[in-house]
Amino acid sequence: MTSTPSHAAIGIGELASRTHCKPETVRYYEKIGLLPAAPRNEGNQRRYSEATVQRLMFVRHARDFGFSVEAVRELLDMADHPSQPCDQVDQLARRHLAEVESRIQRLMVLRDELKRTVAQCDGDSVAQCRIIEVLSDHRLCGHDAAHGGAEALR
Amino acid sequence: MTSTPSHAAIGIGELASRTHCKPETVRYYEKIGLLPAAPRNEGNQRRYSEATVQRLMFVRHARDFGFSVEAVRELLDMADHPSQPCDQVDQLARRHLAEVESRIQRLMVLRDELKRTVAQCDGDSVAQCRIIEVLSDHRLCGHDAAHGGAEALR
DNA sequence: GTAATACCTGTAGTCACTAGAGGTTCAAGC
DNA sequence: GCTTGAACCTCTAGTGACTACAGGTATTAC
């Protein structure tokens, strides 16, 4: 076991493994200001406290929720001011929820069209392939607008 | 109207507008080899044929379907060999469909969790905010694994 | 003492474009 | 023929959120 007593300083490797990310990511977060510049030991290596573990967990969790780094920055700022009203947090989360829902919608349209197209392929030569045919001629789609596939991923 | 007779050479601007993309994107596709290097007029400007319009439409349409540029490259290659069997096209499309479906699944898990969290916020101060609380403590989630938010977007 | 591992900085790469600088060519009107 | 403005050219850098690598230093275990 390499568990460290809670009062001891934590190295970047342990911090990373405890928060399910990589040392590179930790340094990246420090660089872009999501984490404060870590104090160093005599050999110039970063040493962390439990508070930083908590902060990084918050960051990772928010990222897992799909919030952008900029949104995480705002959320952290709000979390740092607990006596303020939480309207802003609420708005940010609702906006994000709306984005996720619209992404799901667009992906579902795309999925249906892909499904329909794939189902029509009879496994013969490319010349008769329905997939290639549909890609070649937009009029063969169920939809006449773009499906928003590439955009749906953003 | 600025319509061009079909036998005349087409400029990059018209090609772009007819395929709903930008001149920059056309040049980018040429650079990465999705489009062949265009012949030039005396003043070094690109001139396109109807065949290129068709090819670019294919590319845009495949991208709208959410295929990666690498996948589009493969699809183009297959479309260029119409006498071959279309198993590969089929496999590529099915793999892509599976990816889209898994992305939808992950996004739906994320959406449900976000929805639940947002619903629990009573609009009081940040200190009591359920959203901040959940982000601070992963155990408060419905799920105990990562929600795959950031990954779901890829 | 030595060897393996962990850490450091800085830079470049990923994906699919997009934006801008700074210059050239074209097309239309006078 | 000249001028003006739009369209075009090349090249470089920026986007988001990391990831990977090169080349060096520190720590740790034996």
In the structure, how far is the CA atom of residue A68 from the C1' atom of nucleotide C26, in angstroms?
45
- For residue A99, how many C-alpha atoms fall within 13 Å in the half-sphere facing its CB? 16
Nearest CA in chain A to B80: A126
Give the burial string for A48-78 (b: 16+ CB within 10 Å, else e): bbeebbebbbbbbbbbbbbbeeebbbebbeb
B58 beta carbon < 7 A from strand C?
Answer: no
pLDDT in tens, A83-106: 999 988 999 999 999 999 999 999
Given a contact cutoff of 8 angstroms between Cβ atoms, the answer to whether B16 and B26 are in contact is yes
Residues in A touching B123 (Cβ below 8 Å): 85-87, 90
pLDDT of A57 over the 80 cut: yes
Nearest residue on chain B to A150, judged by CA atoms?
B66
Tokens 């590529």: give the residue.
B92
B143 neighbors B113 (Cβ within 8 angstroms): yes
What would the pLDDT profile of A8-30 be if each residue is shown by its tens digit?
689 999 999 999 999 999 999 99
| Ramachandran category for residue B33: left, alpha or beta (phi over 0 → left; psi -120 to 50 → alpha) | left
The partner residue sitting opposite A135, judged by closest CB among B61, B87, B108, is B61
Q: Report the share of chain A in percent with pLDDT over 90.
A: 68
Which is nearest to B134 in space by CA: B150, B117, B112? B117
Question: Does residue A46 lie within 7 Å of nucleic acid chain C, judged by its CB?
Answer: yes
User: A145 versus A67: which is more confidently predicted?
Assistant: A67
Q: Which residues, in sequence order, are CB contacts of B108 under 8 Å at separation 6+? A: A104
Distance D19 C1' – A93 CA (angstroms): 28
Least CA distance to A72: which residue of chain B? B135
Confidence of residue B51 (pLDDT cuts 50, 70, 90): very high
Closest CB from B57, B79, B152 relative to A126 = B79
CB contact at 8 A, B14 and B2: yes
Amino acid (1-letter code) at residue B134: V
What distance, in Å, lies between the first and last C-alpha atoms of chain B? 41
Q: What positions of strand D are covered by protein, i.e. any atom < 7 Å from a CB?
A: 7-10, 16-21, 25-27
pLDDT of res. B139: 73
Cβ contact (<8 Å) for B63 and A20?
Answer: no
Residues on chain A touching B21 (C-beta within 8 angstroms): none
